[in-house]
Amino acid sequence: MNATPALRVGLSVTTAEPVLTGGRLDGLGVYSRALLEHLPHAGVDVQALSFAPHGDASKVKLGRALPLSFPLATLGDLILPSSVHLSTHTALMRADRAAAPLDLFHATDYRIVRMDCPVVATLHDALPVSHPEWASAKWRQLKNWLQIKAARKARQVITGSHFSVRELVECFGVDERKISVVHHGVATHWFDAPSAEERDVTLGLHGLRQGYFLFVGTLQPRKNVERLLEAYLALPPVLRAARQLVIVGQPGWRSEELVSRIKAAQQRGENVVWLDRLTDDRHLRHLYAGAGAFIFPSLHEGFGLPLVEAFASGVPVACSNTTSLPEVAAGAALEFDPLAVADISAAMTTLARDDAVRARCIAAGQRRALELTWDEAARRTVAVYHQALSH
């Protein structure tokens, strides 16, 4: 008796393409890369596809697919055939639709480029509509158009939290019956503590001392780093002297004033470190391992991957009590009002000085991280594929 053939799924991985991203993965890139790694273990034949931006003649020629040199090592420990590579195509995919028949196309970054087969789209949030003040005016109209198109054309929509379901229904009019919540995961290597020697070498490279307050994320208005900096500077001098504030993230949209404040604090001799060029994933794990507390004051998240990475790394977490973060944390983090600087300061002080609370947060965080695996996310994603194909 013949086995049922594996689903052949085209997976958009533009956001994980080194030639297009420069090796710096945002949340979309981590998500796309994780599905690329884990969907094959869930019985899916994945065709990885990436698409150059419109008008980017340096990367593509209209109508032609250009294979890229893509060392598998850059994707981590992927178990993929040696022939698998990411290919850059034009956004229209004109010449290649017939070359690679698919059962289904999964758009992970809003861009639906295959309409010759059923489509599943992951919509991470509705930020450009729900909070236009936190989205770049330059890209807001394009992102709105892409997401509305994806919501309408997709047979099924995946999102990372129940909070995002409400946003997608309210802002894009998506039929709630075709939305599935698939929580994101955390890679297994985050649970493996690096050696003290490796950790200390990385910390030494950046002038860090163990026990610091850590934030990870692009510097942009919704990440609320201004209030985090203000909350840190409001801590007692003895606590600031003992614990640095370490901000890891490249400057994003409307970050000029924040960058000026960070640099001004440094010039005054404050214990603030900004790492804007960290691209090595191993070094990022070392920074988590050396942290005394992870502080995540974001005003809006569709999921919040850094939260789970901190949980898996055994770092106590304090985070905002808004949007998806309470759902993701599930009680494992101290929660605070992200608009109240005093509340952020109080949470930082508690995690620095209350050993019982720290221990409780560390244990609860690690339990929560074990519930959020990419293998489970891949299995639930495949279930959505079958749901889409059953229509």
| pLDDT exceeds cutoff 80 at 133 | yes
Tokens of 196: 């003290």
| pLDDT exceeds cutoff 60 at 97 | no
For the ranges 190-199, 219-228, 279-288, 359-368, the lowest mean pLDDT is seen at 279-288
Q: How far apart are CA 247 and CA 239, in angstroms?
A: 17
Beta carbons of 297 and 319 less than 8 angstroms apart: yes
pLDDT digits (tens, 9 = 90+) for 251-306: 999 999 999 999 999 999 999 999 998 878 899 999 999 999 999 999 999 999 99
- The structural domains of the chain, ordered by start, are 7-185+374-389 (3.40.50.2000), 188-371 (3.40.50.2000)
What is the model's pLDDT at position 223? 98
Mean predicted confidence (pLDDT) in 340-358: 98
Beta carbons of 265 and 234 less than 8 angstroms apart: no
pLDDT > 90 in the chain, percent: 71
pTM of the model: 0.87
Farthest-apart Cα atoms in the chain, separation: 74
| pLDDT exceeds cutoff 60 at 35 | yes
